Structure 1
Amino acid sequence: MQKISTKVDPDFPGGFQRWLRLSATSFFLALLCIVSHAASSDHGIAVIANQQVDAASLSPTRLKSIFGMRTTTWKNGQPIRVFVLKDNNPLHVRFTKDVLQTYPYNLRRIWERRVYSGTGLAPTVVNSEGEMLKLIAETDNAIGYIQHHNIDQNVKVLEIR
């Protein structure tokens, strides 16, 4: 009877050691993705609305629809007033990427398409978080976003779930 060798040639392309290295690399990449997703879910950005808005939370899909200007009214039929920061504002970039899962230029293209086709309006662009906070507090049915540490009692924080 011939003895089978269990020694693996490291230079053999289909060898066990290569498979083990690939498996370990894949495992660590998957783990890294999970950890980075968990870390990015707490992004320090609050979605805020006027105190009169009759909502405590929004689904991520509804939020994307509101900021994509597809959903134009609240559930009670009142028109939604959307406020955003300028496209190059770091908070706007973070909000767009981390919360809406898109890029600022994609969002801008959506708005421009709606405006030029006559099917919608672009959101109101503000210059700062302070201006955003003030306008959201003063404008009925308004929605926007700021950093968590800038929240005050004049606006409502909407939970995204």
Structure 2
Amino acid sequence: MRMRVLGIVVLSFVLAYCVYQDRVASFYRKALPSVLKTTNNVTWGSDAGWSNIILPIRPEACGAVVFQLTLDTVQKIQNQGIKFFSEARQGRGNSRNDKYRYAYTEWQPTPVPSEWFGDGPVTGSMSCAGFGARRMRMVEDSASRADGFFTTRSNVQLIVLPNEQIAVLTYSD
């Protein structure tokens, strides 16, 4: 009987964790323009920790999210280049109130500004997220080549790296 109760408790925690992870991934996807289709493979981290169960990003939080792009999206980006992003200046959002919250500047081809790394906002946000040196180096190396695209909004950097099949969203406030 104890094993059954323990199993139910463990299963409940696993289920709660999965629901939480899905909710956070869904929240972050709202920041992406709708043309960026992603898989369910999302890696994220934030300094907000478990205290943000109700709202995944606190106003003073910092962190990063790595989205796995669908193969169809990657192929379209590789075929169309910067033209793919011509209508991609607005994140999905979740209501009319989010219209300005997720508005981005015009997309540009990489390389991203070098000051984004080292002591810059991308490295800082990825560190805040708990991403390791290997992942940060991969993003920096890829974002320093001329085969990706990026945009920004206040304290947010969105980098699309089609050769890596990822989109990287970093934020800090």
Q: What TM-score, normalized to structure 2?
A: 0.36
Structure with greater Cα Rg: 1
Answer 1 or 2: higher relative contact order, Cα 8 Å, separation at least 6: 1
